[in-house]
Structure 1
């Protein structure tokens, strides 16, 4: 009887751990979706500088992406304008 209780507690702890890891993964995906362009360009700029090349172009692209992400975050979103970005996609 005591052995089953111990296994159940271990299984519950593992389930809680997996839920926390999944939440962190989802949050990471959301952050990379919002700031992915800026992060990608920053890493590209650092890689260019480490290899001895000029990385200012990638750094400038990262700043432009960050500015665009900030402007998008500050835009008021509601049901009145939720289709506003569809024209840019077509």
Structure 2
């Protein structure tokens, strides 16, 4: 039973991390779709989604567990 709780907690933490990185992308893409369905131009929201995706990719490349352990060793 304890293993199940640990697995559920790990899945929850992973979901939170993914939403933190890609949440703005999802919101922007949804806004673009809603505007297109309404017959309006959604290209601005599509550009915002692209910029958010690029930002998330840059953060992913910059932050890893190696950076975390390096910060811990540096006393930060």
Query: For the superposition of Structure 1 and Structure 2, which TM-score range results when normalised by the shorter chain?
Result: 0.5 to 0.7
Partner of 2:59: 72
Give 1 or 2 for the bigger CA radius of gyration: 1
Aligned mates of 1:48, 1:37 — CA distance in 2: 16
Report deviation, 1:68: 0.8
Deviation at 1:51, TM superposition (A): 1.2
| In structure 2, C-alpha distance between the alignment counterparts of 1:25 and 1:51, rounded to whole Å | 34
Give the structure-2-normalised TM-score: 0.68
Q: Select the structure with the greater relative contact order (CA < 8 A; seq sep ≥ 6).
A: 2
Matches of 1:38 and 1:46 in 2, distance apart?
A: 12
Structure (1/2) with the larger helix percentage: 2
Residue aligning to 1:39: 26
Unaligned ranges ≥5, structure 1 = 1-11, 84-90
Give the SS at the match of 1:41.
Answer: helix
Unaligned runs of 5+ in 2: none
Give the TM-score taking structure 1 as reference length: 0.59
How many residue pairs get aligned? The number is 67
